[in-house]
Structure 1
Amino acid sequence: MKDSPQNKRYPPKTAGAIMLTNVPTMGENKTVREFREFLLTIHYDFDTFNYIYLLDEEKTLKGVISIRQILHSANDTKLIHLSPKKLIVAHPYTTQERVVHLALKHNLRAIPVVDHEHKFLGEFPSKAILRALHHESTEDLFRLGGVTHTATYDDILKLPFTTILKHRTPWLILGLFGGLLSAGIVSQFEDVLSKQIILASFIPLIVYMADAIGTQIEAFIIRDLAVDPTLNFIKYLRRQFTIVLILAILISGLLYVISLLLYDQPEISMVISLALFLAIMTSLFSGLFVPFIFDRLKFDPANASGPVATIIQDVLSVSVYFWVANTIL
C-alpha cells in the first residue's frame, strides 16, 4: 500500500496516518451511466477500489457506494440515491482500533476519513483494517496475560536480583508505611476500644470484607480494560456503584441481624453494620479508580494496583470503622 503524502501530519496508528487518498470519487449528482463511462476512461490505477465516494463541489462527503451495488443498478439511477443516508466515517485522529470496531460493527470493507467539516480526506482501506485487527487482537491477548505494550514483565530466571528487588521493593515499602498508618489510626481510638473492647474483634471482619469486594471490582476492571481499552468509564462506574450498593446493603444488614442475636447490643450492632456498609462503598475507590488511574498512567494495573489498592482500602476501612464508632457510642 502506498503512503499518503498527508500521513506524516497525523499521529501513528490513527486514521489520518494510515488513510489512502488515491481513491475513486465522483460528483454527487452523477448517474450510473456516467460511472460506467468513467470506468472506461480510467487511465491510472487507484490504491484501492472498494467504494465510490460522492462529493459536492466543496469536496464534502455526500455518499458512499460499493462497486457491486452500482453494477446492479439501472443506468439512469443517480448515484446519490444508492448511498445510505447515514454514513459511517472516521476522523483523521480516530484510533485504528476504533476504525476496526466501526468496520466490523457495520460490515464494511473500508471507512472514509473526513475532517471536522465533513470534507473527504481519504479512505482507511481493507488491508489496513485487517492489519490493525491482527495487531489489536494480539495486543489484547498479551494484556489478558498480564503483559502490555506499555509495561514490561519480570523474567525471574533471567533478571538479576538487583533488578527484581528494585521492581518489587517500592510497593512493599509503601505497604509497610500504610500498615503503620493503619496502626496509628487504631491507637487514636484507644478510649473507644477501652469502653467497648468487643469493637476490636470486628476490625479484621470490616477490613477483610471491604478488601474482598474491592479485589473483586479490581479483577473485573483489569479484565475489562484488557478486553476493551476504550471502556466507557462513567457508564462502568454507574453499573459497579449499583452492584456494590446492593452488596453493601445485603451484607451489612445480615451482619446487623447476626451480631444482634449473638451479643444483644443494638448500638454495637449498629456501629459494625454501618461501618461495614461504608467500608464496602469505599471499595469502589480502591477497586475501581486505582486500577483505572494506573492504566491511564501506562502502568500495568495487574502488577501495580494490587499493593496500592489494598493498603488504601485498609486505611479507609479502619478510618471509617472508628469514625462511626466514635460518632455513635
Structure 2
Amino acid sequence: MQSFEVNKSDIQKLNKALEGTDSELLSLLKEYHSSEIAILFENLNQEEQKRIINLLPSEIASEVISEMDLEYHPEEILINLPPEKRQEIVEELDYDDATDIISLLDEEDQHEILQDIDKEDAHNIRTLLNYEEDTAGGLMNSQLIKVQATMTKKQAIDEIIAQSEEMEEFYTVYVVDEHDRLQGIISLKNLLKSKASSYVSDILNEEFIYVKTNIDQETVANLLSQYNLTSIPVVDDEMKLLGRVTFDDIIDVLNEENTEDILKISGVSEDEELSGNWKDAVKSRLPWLCLNLFTAFLASSVIRYFDSTIDLLLILPAYMTIIAGMGGNAATQALAVTVRRITLNDLTDQQAYRTVLKEFTVGLTNGAIIGIILFLVALLYDSNPMLGLVIFIAMAGNLIIAGVAGSAIPLILKKVNIDPAIASSIIITTFTDVFGFLLLLGLASKLLL
C-alpha cells in the first residue's frame, strides 16, 4: 500500500463536502482512513476540524486525533468538544496517546477532562503525566497483558482472553509474581504449542530486555532496534511491571529525534514548529544568526590582516570562496555522520578515536584530489605553478581540518554534556573559514610575494 499524499483533488472534494450537509460530509470521510483524515486536517481551520470530529464515531475520531501531528494542536480540538463527546474520545484513546495530548493543556483543562472520564482511565493517565515526556515512563502505555508464573496453560489463556478485550493489539505476554514483579516473557506461539499440563513457569523466557522509567527515549529506541523487539517492558527499581513501549511509539520517537537533529545542525531551535508562522521562525533563528555573525568576524579579521597580500594578488579572492565553501561542505558531511553515530550509540574512547582518524583520512584523500584539480585549474587559467601549489596545500589542509573538526568537535561537546548537534555547526564553520583563509593567504604572502 502506498503512503497517502494530499493532492488538490482531495482538498477540493473536502471543501465542497464542508459546504454541504453533515450526511454528505460523513459519506466523503468514509472514503478515507483515520490517519488520512488526520493529514487532511492540516488544511482545515479549527472549526472545520471540530465539526468533523463531532460527526465521526468516537472510535474513529479518537484515531484521527491520535494520528494528528502535535504541531497542529489536537489538544485544542479536544478541549473545545462537548463534554460527552470528549469523554468518549479520551476513553477510546490508548493511555500513552491520551497522555501525550492532555499533557499539552494547562492544569485546569487537564483537570476538566480527567474528572469527566472513567476513574481507572483517569488514574492511569495521571500516573503517566508524572513522567518526563522524553523518557521510557513518558513513552510507555500502561495497558498490557500479564499472567502469573504459577498459572496453568489453560488459566493463562483464559486470562489473556479476558485482558485483551480492551486492547487493540499486543505482541508479548509478560509474566509476573504475586507482587507484580516482572519474572519473564512468553510468546503466544510457545504458549499455544506447550502441553496442556504445562505451567507458565515451564515456558517463560527469563532472558529479556527491560528499561526503567527514567531511561531516555533514544536509548529505548536503540534497544528495540538492536534486539529486534516489538515491545519492551518498563519497570520500577523493584522490578514492578509498569507498562510497555511498542515499536509504533518508537517510530514516532525516531522521526522526532531525526527532525530535531536536522534542525539543530542547521542552527534552528527544536522549539520552532515546522508549520509555524514567520514570527516564530524569526524568533527561533535570529539568535543563532547573531552568533554566526560574531564568528564570521573572526574569518573577516583574517582577511583584513592580509589586505596587502590581496591587493597585490587580486586572483586570490576567487580561490578564497572555493576553499572556504569546500571546507564548510566537508565539515558538514563529517559532522552529520558523527552526530548520527553519537545518536545511535554511546561511542567508547576507542571508537571516537577511530571516527576522528577515519575523517582525517577522508579529508586527506579528498583534499589531495580536489587540490590537484585546483592546481591544474591555476596552471591552465593563470599560468602560475606556484599559485597552484599554494592553492593545493590550502585546499588539502582545509579539508583535513574540516574532517577532524567535523568529527572531533561533536565528540568533545558530547563528552562535556553539551548537545553536539546544536553547537557544532557554528564552531566548525568558523574553523574551516579561519584556517582556510589563513592557509591560503599566509602561504601566498610567503611564497608568491
Which TM-score band (shorter chain)?
A: 0.5 to 0.7
Q: Secondary structure at the match of 1:13?
A: coil
CA displacement, residues 2-45 of structure 1 (integer Å, 9 cap, x when unaligned): 52886466422311234438752434xx5xx7242355579985
Instruction: Kindly state the Cα deviation for residue 111 of structure 1 after the two structures are TM-superposed.
Output: 0.9
Aligned residue in 2 for 1:95: 216
Gaps of 5+ in 1: none
Partner of 1:11, secondary structure, is: coil
Question: Counterpart in 2 of 1:209?
Answer: 323
- The aligned residue for residue 52 of structure 1 is 173
The equivalent position to 1:11 in structure 2, one of 101, 112, 132, is 132
Query: Match for 2:186: what amino acid?
Result: I
**How far off is 1:68 after superposition?**
3.7
Shift of 1:131: 4.5
Which amino acid counterpart does residue 328 of structure 2 have in structure 1? G
Matched, 1:252 2:371: yes
Q: Distance in 1 between matches of 2:366 and 2:237?
A: 45
1:182 equivalent in structure 2: 302
Q: Deviations over 1:231-258 (max 9, x none)?
A: 4574765554443222012223455577
Deviation at 1:65, TM superposition (A): 0.8
Distance 1:240 1:210, change over 3 A: farther
Structure 1 counterpart of 2:194, from 73, 78, 92: 73
Mark the runs of 5 or more structure 2 residues left unpaired by the alignment.
1-94, 96-120
Q: Check 1:35–1:123 CA distance in 2 against 1; reply closer, same or farther (3 A cut).
A: farther
Shift of 1:113: 2.4
Q: How far did 1:212 drift?
A: 1.9
Inter-CA distance 42–285: structure 2 relative to 1 (3 Å threshold): closer
Checking the alignment, whether the CA contact within 8 Å between 2:331 and 2:432 is kept in structure 1 is no
Q: AA paired with 1:71? A: L
Matched, 1:122 2:245: no
* Residue 80 to residue 255, structure 1, CA distance change in 2 (3 Å): farther
CA distance in 2, matches of 1:111, 1:159: 37
Aligned partner letter, 1:89: Y
Indicate conservation of the 8 Å contact 1:203/1:318, yes or no: no
Cα separation, partners in 2 of 1:238 and 1:176, compared to 1, 3 Å: closer
Q: Which residue of 2 aligns with 1:26?
A: 148
Matched residue, 2:419? 296
- Aligned residues of 1:202 and 1:272 also touching (Cα < 8 A): no
Output the CA distance in 2 between the equivalents of 1:160 and 1:88.
41
TM-score (norm 1): 0.63
Query: Which of residues 433, 437, 447 is equivalent to 1:318?
Result: 437
% of aligned pairs identical? 19
Could you give the per-residue CA deviations for residues 255-313 of structure 1, whole angstroms, max 9, x where no partner exists?
A: 55776784455xx6554433322112222366567799799378598xxx47x754542
Q: 1:325 to 1:300 in 2, by over 3 A?
A: closer
2:196 and 2:287 map into 1 onto residues whose CA distance is 69
Conserved in 1, the CA contact under 8 Å of 2:174 and 2:185?
yes
**CA pair 134-318 structure 1, distance change in 2 beyond 3 A:** closer
Structure number having the greater helix percentage: 2
SS at match of 2:214: coil
Q: Distance in 1 between matches of 2:173 and 2:144?
A: 12
Distance of aligned partners of 1:205 and 1:88 in 2 relative to their CA distance in 1, 3 Å threshold: same
Change (3 A) 1:314 1:121: same
Distance 1:182 1:133 in 2: 46
Query: Displacement, 1:321?
Result: 3.3
Whole-angstrom distance in 1 between the partners of 2:201 and 2:218: 29
Q: Would you say 1:273 and 2:387 are equivalent positions?
A: no
Partners of 2:299 and 2:187 in 1: CA distance: 64
* Alpha-carbon distance between aligned partners in 2 of 1:316 and 1:285, rounded to the nearest angstrom: 12
How many residue pairs get matched?
306
Deviation of residue 315 (structure 1)?
1.7
TM-score w.r.t. structure 2 length? Answer: 0.49
Equivalence for 1:230:
343
Contact 1:56–1:62 (8 Å) recurs in 2? yes
Report the more deviating stretch, 176-185 or 18-27. 18-27
Confirm whether residue 137 of structure 1 aligns to residue 251 of structure 2: no
Q: What is the rounded CA distance, in whole Å, between the counterparts of 1:152 and 1:50 in structure 2?
A: 34
Distance in 2 (CA, whole Å) between partners of 1:89 and 1:8 is: 21
Q: Counterpart of 1:313 in 2: which secondary structure?
A: helix
1:180-232: CA deviation from partner (whole Å, max 9, x where unpaired): 41223314xx5xx59xx66x63454255234224225426756996x899245
Deviation readout 1:72-117 (Å, 9 max, x if unpaired): 2113556466455752333323334543554466554421124679
Look up the equivalent residue of 2:419 and give its one-letter code: R
